Structure 1
Amino acid sequence: MRISTASLAFAALLAAPVITIAPSDAAGGDESPAQAEVMFQARKTWFKDNFQRRLDLLESHQNCIDAASSMQEFKTCRKDKKKARKSLKRDYRAYMNKVRNQLGLPARAGKPVANGRRLEA
């Protein structure tokens, strides 16, 4: 007995659980429109204020790669860039959590996963 591809696809669609995201979750949680505007302005300010820092990181990485004469030195460049990016990300999270706390919103911690959702354990 042959089962068509369309039949299998339809059966898989019926068997798959339906995942829905509430509008408030998709829009950024429990933020009011005023809080969302303040958060937007804070993100914009941080990215403008730290533009030179990000540019310096890229230039430093490029110089390191240009100077690398072995695979080990190249790997060291990549590791250094990764450390610098993590530091930048930590600083961004600290800055945004400070703004969130001032707005009465909970601080964010942990790593986001695909689609901005966090793993539930």
Structure 2
Amino acid sequence: MKSSIRRYGSGLLLLGLLAVPVLGESVLAKAKRAPITPEQKQALIQGHKSWAKTSYGKRRSAMDRTMACVDAAQSKDDLKTCHKQRKTARRALRKEHHAYMNQVREQAGLPIR
């Protein structure tokens, strides 16, 4: 037992030390970014507000489909299918939101994510 800890412990420690510079670089990259201006911040807020308003119908429709699926479910497998469909719909909406906000960020002169 002790020999396996000694054998793998040093490898894990080395792996942990190798990961630290990678994490440190991402923190430095964030620090080097130009600060966001009030105009850019306002553009992002307006983008989020616009998305919330324009996507309401899609989000409502997805919730209605989920409720109809759950109401029609007759078994646990049917409920699992409903959950998977809900998850798929949420992921699709999240991708749309991400693409929309990237357009807003680009128009505001911010890097896309």
Task: With the length of structure 2 as denominator, give the TM-score of the two structures.
Answer: 0.68
Pick aligned residue for 2:91 from 86, 91, 99: 86
> Deviations 1:39-70 (Å, cap 9, x if unpaired)?
10111011101111101111100000000001
How far residue 94 of structure 1 moved from its aligned partner, in angstroms, is 0.2
Whose helix proportion is higher, 1 or 2? 2
Identity of aligned residues (%): 38
The correspondence for 2:52, drawn from 44, 47, 50, is: 47
Count of aligned residue pairs for this structure pair: 81
Task: Flag structure 2 segments of 5+ consecutive residues without an equivalent.
Answer: 1-29
**How far does residue 102 in structure 1 lie from its aligned partner after superposition?**
1.4
Shift of residue 30 of structure 1? 2.8
Moved over 6 A (4+): none
Q: Give the counterpart of 1:70 among 71, 75, 79.
A: 75
Equivalent in the alignment of 1:107: 112
Q: Equivalent residue of 2:35, what SS?
A: coil
1:96 aligns with 2:110: no
1:36 aligns with 2:46: no
Alignment of 1:21-32 (within 5 A): 30-32=35-37
1:74 Cα deviation from its structure 2 partner? 0.5
Could you tell me how far apart the structure 2 residues matched to 1:77 and 1:70 are?
A: 11
Q: Which has the larger radius of gyration?
A: 2
**Would the aligned equivalents of 2:105 and 2:111 in 1 still touch at CA under 8 Å?**
yes
Per-residue displacement from partner, 1:8-54 (whole Å, max 9, x unpaired)?
Answer: xxxxxxxxxxxxxxxxx8xxx83210110011011101110111110
- What is the letter of the counterpart of residue 87 of structure 1? A
Q: Which amino acid aligns with 2:76?
A: M
Structure 1: give runs of 5+ residues left out of the alignment.
Answer: 1-24, 109-121
